[in-house]
Structure 1
């Protein structure tokens, strides 16, 4: 297939908007995927145990080391000591039994034993024997009598002191618990405590059997409490995580079994696991591509995105994603350099060159892509801090960039953006758990400030490239072209003042109509200013510029007149091309008469001869191909027709407007314009209302002579 046929075929297919939008979405998706591929791909290593690592390897994911976690759980459970339950009943019983012995001794000492025992002389042995008769405990009866003998021989104060010391000591040891294997140790502790008292040493020795009697195990093993403690210990063990970015092995380090297991756990030895993150990334990027296609295709009825605008989207996507990728190489956990990314450049340029809604949609998409690029090469992780920052800075730039009249508007937007970037950066620092000092605030804040400055400079610098290099017609350029000081408009004003006034009126009607039907009102207004520029070649051949002079057409053949009149769209297009005005304006100037019939000279020729071909009196076209071109074409005819009337009233205006709309539809002049019947109906109402406001009734003031006559 020849080169000419290939180009012809491509041009044929590119007539379809949906195909161009689809190709744009595919290219953007390819850029996203190719530059985020390395952020989710996990490289697999061919490593053997007990070999030296050839490079430093870090974990690409956060994953639990289950074996290490289980080992720590076992250690925690084994470290739990057996739990014992202390019986307060044993404590009270034993202390009460010891106290009972002392109480019985005091009772015996206070009684008249001679009468009770019927003896004239009472010995210590008698008291001991009597005591054993009074107590019920068999163990007390079998106790060595020396302890009782010693207590009876001691004075009352020593017995009370012994009682208090033994009772308090028992309470102390029972409070902490006495286990079965701790009885001897506890007895010695009590004896030692008594030995430090003021009691006689012989009495302390004699009290040993009583202490042995009082000490009894009161702390018993509790299976329930032990199990509960082990459960708590098990639950208290934190899972052992191998965190994303954590160094597993350093270059030159020996690959031990433990290190090898960590490499297996993180999937660094498994080539198959690397496929899943890539599939997930591909799905995400396809979804973003689908959003791009649907957004571009959604508004195709009202907004025609030319191939040049779509090329601008692809170029901007490639540039900003590439910039983010380069910056990501230098980002660390301690240095969030992504704050310096001038991503607002894209949002501002897309709004200026294309449309605000498209800029908002792409802002969301770029923020998502940025959160992947700055994920520190950790599959499955999105850097939400970077994503939110990118989204905020782009939306803020779109909001501040309300209307671009000149470069100053972009600079003002940059100033507002710098303030918002600083605020956002400080917000992230304040929300962080980490403590930052003043130097960090200044450093990271300067990143956000520089991002705004760089974005502003890039926007101002790149805008002429897209406007001139790609020939994209932006609102800022349209506003520049609408200035009365523009050389071509001054030429029109000076050489064809009537046409200039007519163009101003057409511009007002065209802008109002386009705004009502959702077309580009600013483009229609500016194009209307230039649509009759071709009349400056022969200005006096057009009635609005004759200003009382004789009509040159009265001396010309109808064919000659028609040729002069029908030439002005072509002449206008040539002048516009020579001055390198945007193609959209050139097209409207060339199409504003379509292939309509120049009826006046056609019927004038028919009056002279019946052998007249209609084709000789039709404009060469082409027909209006856009809504804006069709609107200018209709408003041009309507304004000229209404202006030719003398003081037209509302009914006349409505009749003229309706007839011109009907004539254009029947003549097929609107077939290529994408205007709907609903659009035409809306345009009729808007044009009629606007013209009625221009040609409203005025009070007829009497002249000076009539006023004198009235006097």
Structure 2
């Protein structure tokens, strides 16, 4: 039982990776849109490269979204507004007229017959005006439908007058009255009582339009099973393109039915598993230090899952905004935390995953890979704010140029170009600028360190470096010199110069505990090592590594920087005290005088080891010249190589030679050596 528990704890890192692998596969497949995949790839304007295609099923030819939208626009332009007439208002007007007529003093001198004739004349005029009704103001449309007594009558504007038009009609109609005085009186009375009784019915109009729009057919014609759709070599355009798009849509919808859905899910699972397996194999074979760190592996997979989730969400919601997703944030962030090769590899694998679900997959994959390459090639030194803006501008330009080229290929001209797409690319670039706060967020969540954080750590006015300067000024000065040497060497071979510089500044902070035991801090001729045994002296010297790590952890120094503290002496021996112990006689255990290690495991840590040893030992040079410095650097680095300190570091012999050349030149500059001219 205990053996099983021990094995579990020993293998928990591997078990975690298996769980992460399976969980990632499940999530990605879950994110994918549900549906089959048409087995033919085709593009507008390109020849059909497969065998002649006969329809495997009956399907309707779907109209394009543009055609449907055009029909909708035509219906909306031709819509006839609905108006309703209020019969009660007409009755009120007539009643008001009769009451006002018989009460008016202007008609009191008429006999009964004349009154009746004049009253009937007024009523006839009103009945004519209210046959369909009166509207308050001019109707902009050429016609309308008037709902009266539950019937919809199609009328022209002239049949339904406005108040002003009704008053004109009254003036014309009353002109037939014999007496001018009575004409004006009747006209004034009629105009005073008329009211509009016809009003616009918005709800009825919209319902009628919606009913018409719902009748729009989304298809145009049908293709029967076995009917020829397209032949080999035919250009995919016009009706052929419509048929292929309709067949693709119908085929994929029918494919995702019954037991087929389980087979499709299985297929997706296998493909996603292969892609993620490639990522694991890459990390294991080429980035073993990252593969061994579950935190970093989780960080990489989290970013891949995030990009897949956001992209598939956009595809499901509105695929027109697909390029809003800032996919180039992925290589940008990974390069910032790791390296360019890993960033590009993960970016390409993520695009391959998304190629299963995005429309126009070839175009999408091409544009995203090119944009990713540009990201890797242009983004550097993110702690310089201008660099990110310049890189994002170049990425956006690549998207725009690429889309422009694809449009010309597909359309053969600049017609129908969708200018809104350029706006989408600009929005993509603006969102990509969010990489800076995202990097900060990742640093806090995953405990990683970026160049921006390294820049902050390189400030010599920081609390820890000020403390080092106060307690061990000699060590502080030594660290500055090592930082300058290491940074120059890193720039020469393309290593992370900022990381090396920060590592050099902090590599000896453990000497703050016992500063006087280190020669650079001894300001008198008194050496405390003279009063203690060599073995104890060696332990004090060696312990500065362990104490430095403890101090760094207390001050929340990132692990990437602490690696320099652990490795800057590797597993080398404190040779001076080792030889001194040998001179005293007796058996000497070499391990008691060796640093705990580990030896350097990266270019940056290897550079620091060389720069540290060269700078420290250079203080012993009495009368240095070019030849002495050359031999001195060669001897120091050779001794480190003989001690196998660089076996685990990914640094080549050519790069070591380049580092030595930089160190020699820098030492010559430090000692102000000049070429001796012949007399």
Distance 1:539 1:35, change over 3 A: same
Where 1:553 maps in the other structure, the secondary structure is helix
Residue 355 of structure 1 corresponds to 339
Confirm or deny that 1:40 pairs with 2:36: yes
The 5 Å alignment of 1:125-524 reads: 243-244=244-245, 268=255, 285=272, 288-289=275-276, 292=279, 296=283, 299-300=286-287, 306-331=293-318, 336-375=320-359, 382-406=360-384, 409-411=387-389, 413-414=391-392, 417=395, 433=411, 441-442=419-420, 444-457=421-434, 459-514=435-490, 520-524=496-500
Deviations 1:653-693 (A, max 9, x none): 34433443444355454555466666655554554454345
The 5 Å alignment of 1:576-615 reads: 576-608=552-584, 610=586, 613-615=589-591
Deviation at 1:243, TM superposition (A): 4.1
- Aligned equivalents of 1:451, 1:327: Cα separation in 2: 13
- Aligned equivalents of 1:610, 1:307: Cα separation in 2: 47
Distance 1:517 1:307, change over 3 A: farther
Contact 2:479 2:504 in 1 (8 A): yes
Deviation at 1:312, TM superposition (A): 2.0
Deviation at 1:611, TM superposition (A): 6.0
Contact 1:534 1:573 in 2 (8 A): yes
Distance 1:40 1:477, change over 3 A: farther
Deviation at 1:644, TM superposition (A): 1.3
Contact 2:489 2:659 in 1 (8 A): yes
Deviation at 1:639, TM superposition (A): 1.9
Deviations 1:36-62 (A, max 9, x none): 3734369xxxxxxxxxxxxxxxxxxx9
Where 2:570 maps in the other structure, the secondary structure is coil
Distance 1:298 1:622, change over 3 A: closer
- Aligned equivalents of 1:68, 1:638: Cα separation in 2: 81
Confirm or deny that 1:647 pairs with 2:643: no
Contact 1:309 1:353 in 2 (8 A): no
Deviations 1:421-471 (A, max 9, x none): 566667666776599889x634x44433332222322x2232123323222
Deviation at 1:486, TM superposition (A): 3.1
**Structure 2 residue corresponding to 1:541, chosen from 517, 527, 538:** 517
Residue 172 of structure 1 corresponds to none
- Aligned equivalents of 1:408, 1:682: Cα separation in 2: 31
Distance 1:68 1:11, change over 3 A: closer
- Aligned equivalents of 1:416, 1:676: Cα separation in 2: 33
- Aligned equivalents of 1:356, 1:269: Cα separation in 2: 40
- Aligned equivalents of 2:248, 2:536: Cα separation in 1: 88
Deviation at 1:406, TM superposition (A): 4.5
- Aligned equivalents of 2:401, 2:34: Cα separation in 1: 32
- Aligned equivalents of 1:580, 1:624: Cα separation in 2: 22
Contact 1:541 1:553 in 2 (8 A): yes
Distance 1:39 1:365, change over 3 A: farther
- Aligned equivalents of 1:36, 1:385: Cα separation in 2: 19
Contact 2:490 2:604 in 1 (8 A): yes
Contact 2:290 2:297 in 1 (8 A): no
Contact 1:496 1:539 in 2 (8 A): yes
- Aligned equivalents of 2:306, 2:277: Cα separation in 1: 21
Contact 1:65 1:241 in 2 (8 A): no
Residue 79 of structure 2 corresponds to none
- Aligned equivalents of 2:256, 2:547: Cα separation in 1: 73
Deviation at 1:318, TM superposition (A): 0.2
- Aligned equivalents of 1:614, 1:513: Cα separation in 2: 32
Deviation at 1:338, TM superposition (A): 0.9
Deviation at 1:564, TM superposition (A): 2.8
Q: TM-score, normalised by structure 1?
A: 0.57
Where 1:570 maps in the other structure, the secondary structure is helix
Where 2:449 maps in the other structure, the secondary structure is coil
- Aligned equivalents of 1:27, 1:534: Cα separation in 2: 43
Confirm or deny that 1:569 pairs with 2:545: yes
Distance 1:408 1:28, change over 3 A: farther
Deviation at 1:320, TM superposition (A): 0.5
- Aligned equivalents of 1:476, 1:552: Cα separation in 2: 41
- Aligned equivalents of 1:246, 1:342: Cα separation in 2: 32
Deviations 1:178-214 (A, max 9, x none): xxxxxxxxxxxxxxxxxxxxxxxxxxxxxxxxxxxxx
Distance 1:514 1:541, change over 3 A: same
**Structure 2 residue corresponding to 1:656, chosen from 622, 632, 635:** 632
Q: TM-score, normalised by structure 2?
A: 0.59
Distance 1:606 1:359, change over 3 A: closer
Deviation at 1:291, TM superposition (A): 5.3
Distance 1:371 1:559, change over 3 A: closer
Contact 1:63 1:266 in 2 (8 A): no
The 5 Å alignment of 1:631-710 reads: 631-667=607-643, 669-670=645-646, 672-673=648-649, 683-695=659-671, 697-698=673-674
- Aligned equivalents of 2:22, 2:469: Cα separation in 1: 48
Query: Gaps (5+ residues) in structure 1?
Result: 43-61, 70-233, 249-261, 376-381, 701-711
**Structure 2 residue corresponding to 1:531, chosen from 507, 514, 535:** 507
Where 2:447 maps in the other structure, the secondary structure is coil
- Aligned equivalents of 1:517, 1:7: Cα separation in 2: 42
Deviation at 1:323, TM superposition (A): 0.4
Residue 164 of structure 1 corresponds to none
Structure whose alpha-carbon radius of gyration is higher: 1
- Aligned equivalents of 2:6, 2:453: Cα separation in 1: 36
RMSD: 4.7
